[in-house]
Structure 1
């Protein structure tokens, strides 16, 4: 079988799901003009270029959205600052670039590559926090006490410079004392100290959230592996200590952003997940492991169950985590007026959570940045609550569609990898059980498929042994039957 044209498949899936895979000519022309004109620099901008900022992301990431810096204080607390790329300084509201971003609302990450929300000339260059380059940023400057609680914060605009572009895997290996420091910090004691303070404060913030019900799960995503340009595998891209570090810091930043807007009497866009979609099945899943969960959703009880299972059976914890995440369901964006009651995120154990740290990749974050900058400048809000409500609904829909695109392109890639393995048997876990069908995930390659035989009575979280019955690249089908 010839290798499929995954790039064309991905573009077709984008269009079929109401997403535009190609930047119109007027968007590219405007991006060139914006890049030439440079960022808008009016207002109060602090010069923090000399501070030891750094980034941690994937090795090949070009659209860098955040830098961070930390300082241990004498009383045991930590001052933690996160600098978010000031994308709004170049991307003006209402322009062609902004209109395209508002339509797609997100970058889409497929097995064949990325469909960026903003033209690469901006997101991968002029609005990216590249190492060694001066950039404008919106800084969220927090004080974190010994227990991991953010006790105070201030926001401001600043000029910053990335002093080290670091990667998750090499940082994690160094923090876990399995490798020497990454080359970018090998001779820089100050940056090494920065990373250790970050690791310390991230862990304290994670403990603080877990004491309030944040779920201690371990999941991974499929990562395409290419050899000489040909897709050869889909492997698990697992969490590690550096990924956890960044995730914990971003959670704190996003919560601080939401509270800042509320405290200044301004509306915001919130990400919410109020209750699990299928708590009844979570109760059943716990009972299969000899544990009891209460009838009503209880994050602390669920996390205690997960922690116990991780200790008792570490080898099966990732599959259990996947089942729990699927049963929790996905979150949604909502527009919140300034006097709105707190809207929680069940899985993160935080209230008032606003996405704000990835304006190169998510339109919601760009909108939030505009709200923050207007508040700092004491200007009128750039969006009404009615406009924010429309944006929230549209972004929720488009992110779900982007997930569908990513899943279907991945399935086409996996169908190609599995086309000569019809009849092979795999260990799997049930990841979906709805009237539309029952779905399972295998791990080598890591992909989901539909269970078309022997699925009766199966539910999310069940471990099953399956046989590959057939694949169809064009239809994005991978069919399994029970053994």
Structure 2
């Protein structure tokens, strides 16, 4: 009895000294009103046990490293917001200065070149506000570097006066990297190399690195993509663990898997994609009834093959998304999955997660559900073929697909109704133009041409949108957590400038307080056929924030949906894969087996937003370099173009039909003093009264192309 009593007492006393979680520590520091030492925190939380006190120290250190707390010179821990400190990422400028973009939002902190000596572009830091000028611009000073963003850098190698160094290709990194030893690298002057940073920059020392590889100069296109891949540190090689995991995958589907799946193999599903598509992750099928339609959107069941916490899953998470370059794709999943087992190829049985939607004759979704299924695509159609079948009604092609005509016509009829409804509710339809490179047999660039969209593109978009909405509503209704695609309302500051500009032009958004999607849509309809249509569309687009991923649903302003997520592309987007796992877990009543919670969802959403931006930046860098390569032999020639952007230092000109943009520097304009109006997007000549504005048509001469700097410069020849 004595022993038993002693054990009970010990257990009871230990439970009083449990380690407080991060939330409790933050709440206590917020209430205490002053920074606290580790000892003071231990006393406040009644922690006596030595091991738990040490664990508290480790937790405080981790919170400091994550930027949740700051440790002052006295060894006390405090909250950043209470100490006028800001956590954020550094944005470097080619001229040596930079900015800290606060994670909590608000205006950036300017960092002078002296402050930028110890950091590089992308580093995560804590900074202090030191000054605010009369115009409200804030200057900061670095307090601590939390996380380094650059571990490998691509750049050009140079050796001068016995000193070797690399000039980073990313111009936001303004510091050269010293190379103290070449080891066995036979690198030539001006060659592109990949370096590993051995020592990050310090106050009195430049960053130091070593060359790990020399980039192959096989041809301009290959080298351009290689530079972009390595500059943005994109994972492009499959780890051995992933190769081992996929080694045993086969085309065969175990019969046991089919026991709890709906058999839709006889349904006339079809895939509709581009001519050069290889991964088909969605297929559609539609039946028409007396009172409406039944739409089936089948998405490849990637979650069946990519198990949570597997090596394959870890790599997919790391990549976050497939990345599309002009000459190649870096897939999120290995080819055996992306182009094989998870690709809904024609006449091939595939595991799918099917979204079923009952839609009434008015185009309203009355009911939606999700089913684990097996399907067999009946045809692989291109957008051009689908357009010929249902829009142009080409008899020859319709005859080729005669057994599918009823279902294809149903799809098109439903699309027209859904699209019509969206236009009524407020469809923001910017007239953007996509372009693509046309390569010759030698790998050179023959031309840059526009990608024409037709109603078949819009049909698939409409079907994917309606499935994504259904998935978001399903998560909201049945799951404790989820990942959503959100697009918030334009910020007040942006709207203020927009209202001023529109009022000068006799236009308005109708709502001056909180505009709706319908307000934007209505304005876009009004500006159609105006000469300044392109200018106004550009300004409207720039007034809106970027769409991101979030663990909480805040709606999608641009699409006008109160709830939206990404469900339809799990082959190439990690958030879609997560949504599939949650929905499948709910269907199979195994949601509790998923290692997700609200905290992990928040981290996952931030990570996926970051990998999306990284992919866009890498692709944009490669495209801009290729455009410079394409334009290099055209120096001295004249082109028609339109002003696509106005800045204090000049005009950016988009060339007609070439989809290439370059700078018309202010010094090349007719001699005058020019004043920049950021609200009206104009440059006004003080003496001659000439106003240069967005959308203005000009004839310019190409005077310089710098491929390394990715810059194209024009001079003005004539105002049209």
- Whether TM-score is above 0.5 comes out as yes
1:414 and 2:627 are equivalent in the alignment: yes
Give the equivalent residue in structure 2 for 1:117. Answer: 332
Give CA deviations for 1:307-340 in whole Å, capped at 9, x if unaligned: 2333x35x9766754554344232010012xxxx
- Note the alpha carbon deviations across 1:343-380, whole angstroms, 9 max, x for none: 22111111210101000010111111111100101113
Partner of 2:249: helix, strand, or coil?
A: helix
* Pick aligned residue for 2:607 from 394, 398, 420: 394
Moved more, 434-443 or 259-268: 434-443
The farther-off stretch of 401-410 and 165-174 is 165-174
Partner of 2:569: 358
Q: Distance in 2 between matches of 1:225 and 1:180?
A: 31
> What pairs with 1:164-183 in structure 2 (closer than 5 Å)?
164-177=379-392, 179-180=394-395, 182=397
Show the 5 A alignment for 1:61-460: 61-75=277-291, 77-177=292-392, 179-180=394-395, 182=397, 186-228=399-441, 229-276=443-490, 278-280=494-496, 282-283=498-499, 286-287=502-503, 290-294=506-510, 295-296=512-513, 297-310=515-528, 312-313=529-530, 321=537, 323-336=539-552, 343-381=554-592, 382=594, 383-423=596-636, 424-430=638-644, 439-453=652-666, 456-457=676-677, 459=681
Q: 1:149 to 1:321 in 2, by over 3 A?
A: farther
Q: Secondary structure of the residue that 1:70 maps to in structure 2?
A: strand
In 2, the alpha carbon distance for the partners of 1:457 and 1:406 equals: 31
**Is the contact made by 1:105 and 1:395 (CA closer than 8 Å) also made in structure 2?**
yes
Greater RCO structure (CA 8 Å; 6+ sep): 1
Q: CA deviation at 1:23?
A: 2.5
Q: Tell me if 1:463 matches 2:676.
A: no
Deviations along 1:423-460, one digit per CA (max 9) or x if unpaired, are 423312425x6799965533432134445436944739
Q: Distance in 2 between matches of 1:85 and 1:235?
A: 32
Q: CA deviation at 1:55?
A: 0.7
Q: Structure 1 stretches of 5 or more lacking a match?
A: 337-341
Larger deviation: 249-258 or 112-121?
112-121
More moved, 165-174 vs 234-243? 165-174
Give the secondary structure class of the aligned counterpart of 1:137.
strand
TM-score by length of 1: 0.89
Q: Deviations over 1:278-331 (max 9, x none)?
A: 334544665576422232323212211212333x35x97667545543442320
- C-alpha distance 258-438 of structure 1, shift in aligned 2 (>3 A): farther
User: Does the 8 Å CA contact 2:488/2:545 hold for their aligned counterparts?
Assistant: no
Secondary structure of 2:386's partner? helix
SS in 1 for 2:400: coil
Number of residue pairs aligned between Structure 1 and Structure 2? 471
1:249-295 Cα shifts (integer Å, max 9, x gaps):
11110000011121113321111111135334544665576422232
- Distance in 2 (CA, whole Å) between partners of 1:226 and 1:358 is 28
Q: Quick check: 346-355 or 39-48, which moved more?
A: 39-48
SS at match of 1:446: coil
Structure 2: distance between partners of 1:43 and 1:440? 60
| Superposition deviation, residue 217 in structure 1 | 2.4
1:475 matched residue in structure 2: 709
Take 2:559 and 2:277, find their aligned partners in 1: how far apart are those partners? Answer: 25
Cα distance, 1:85 vs structure 2: 0.2
Determine if the alignment matches structure 1 residue 31 to structure 2 residue 246: yes
Q: 1:191 to 1:284 in 2, by over 3 A?
A: farther
Distance 1:306 1:332 in 2: 24
Number of the residue aligned with 1:57: 273
Q: Hey, what's the Cα distance between the residues in 2 that align with 1:317 and 1:43?
A: 57
Q: For 1:12 and 1:351, how far apart are their aligned partners in 2?
A: 41
> Is residue 222–residue 447 contact of structure 1 (8 Å, CA) maintained in 2?
no
Q: Secondary structure at the match of 1:420?
A: helix
**Alpha-carbon distance in 2 for matches of 1:17, 1:359:** 23
SS at match of 2:633: coil
1:339: which partner in 2?
none
How far apart are 1:173 and its partner, in Å? Answer: 3.6
Structure 2 distance, partners of 1:434, 1:332, is 27
Deviation at 1:227, TM superposition (A): 2.6
**Gap change, CA 1:286 and 1:204, over 3 Å in 2:** farther
Does the aligned pair in 1 maintain the 2:307–2:313 contact within 8 Å? yes
Q: Is the Cα–Cα contact under 8 Å of residues 410 and 447 in structure 1 kept in the other structure?
A: no
For residues 14 and 378 of structure 1, what CA distance do their matches in structure 2 show?
41
Distance in 2, matches of 1:281 and 1:192, equals 51
Task: From the CA coordinates, give the structure whose radius of gyration is larger.
Answer: 2
SS in 2 for 1:259: helix
Write the deviation string for residues 180-226 of structure 1: whole angstroms up to 9, x where unpaired: 564xx633334222222111212222222232222122222221112
Does structure 2 conserve the Cα–Cα contact (< 8 Å) formed by 1:427 and 1:463?
Answer: no
CA distance in 2, matches of 1:30, 1:435: 55
* In the alignment, structure 1 residue 41 sits paired with structure 2 residue 296: no
